[in-house]
């Protein structure tokens, strides 16, 4: 998907989110990240820190804005990858010796080269992850 400017309604939604504190589900994601050896803030903590430092959310293009909005609204990180590079077996992301449960959207005609995904970790309902992925998918349509 080529980088393109976010439409006015997406930029307005981003501005409106700057006044809200995102729902943060730090414990399940922080625990999972620690177990994987990842020493970084959870996605929700990272966007909150960015908002505090910058005083708001700046539009960075449609795809980054959609990922940000989904994360702020649900507390769940959403990522994007080249659909050709992602291997899914039985609802799990497979690679680098890991089998990670996840929720993905199928590639759509307008974005057939990318797949959005969110990682399901113990303690976070799959429905919340699904909601986050669909929020982002609907915005980039």
pLDDT in tens, the chain (141 residues): 556 788 999 988 888 887 776 655 447 888 888 888 888 888 888 888 888 888 888 899 999 999 999 998 888 889 887 766 666 677 676 655 556 666 666 555 554 567 788 888 888 888 888 899 999 989 988
Cα–Cα distance, 42 to 132 (Å, whole number): 15
Cα–Cα distance, 59 to 65 (Å, whole number): 6
Q: Three-class SS of residue 52?
A: helix
pLDDT of residue 136: 92
Cα–Cα distance, 74 to 20 (Å, whole number): 12
Task: Read off the DSSP letter of residue 119.
Answer: E
Domain ranges of the chain: 8-140
> Six-digit token pair at 15?
């501005």
Cα–Cα distance, 112 to 82 (Å, whole number): 9
> Six-digit token pair at 39?
């020493």
Cα–Cα distance, 70 to 21 (Å, whole number): 13
> Six-digit token pair at 122?
């113990």
pLDDT of residue 26: 47
């Amino acid at each position: 998907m080529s980088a393109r400017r976010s439409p006015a309604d997406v930029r307005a939604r981003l501005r409106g989110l700057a006044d809200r504190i995102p729902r943060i589900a730090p414990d399940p994601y922080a625990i999972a990240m620690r177990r994987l050896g990842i020493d970084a803030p959870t996605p929700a903590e990272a966007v909150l820190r960015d908002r505090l430092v910058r005083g708001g959310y700046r539009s960075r293009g449609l795809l980054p804005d959609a990922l940000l909005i989904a994360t702020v609204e649900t507390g769940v990180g959403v990522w994007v990858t080249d659909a050709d590079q992602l291997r899914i077996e039985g609802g799990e992301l497979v690679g680098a010796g890991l089998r990670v449960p996840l929720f993905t959207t199928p590639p759509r005609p307008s974005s057939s080269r990318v797949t959005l995904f969110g990682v399901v970790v113990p303690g976070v309902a799959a429905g919340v992850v699904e909601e986050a992925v669909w929020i982002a998918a609907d915005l980039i349509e």
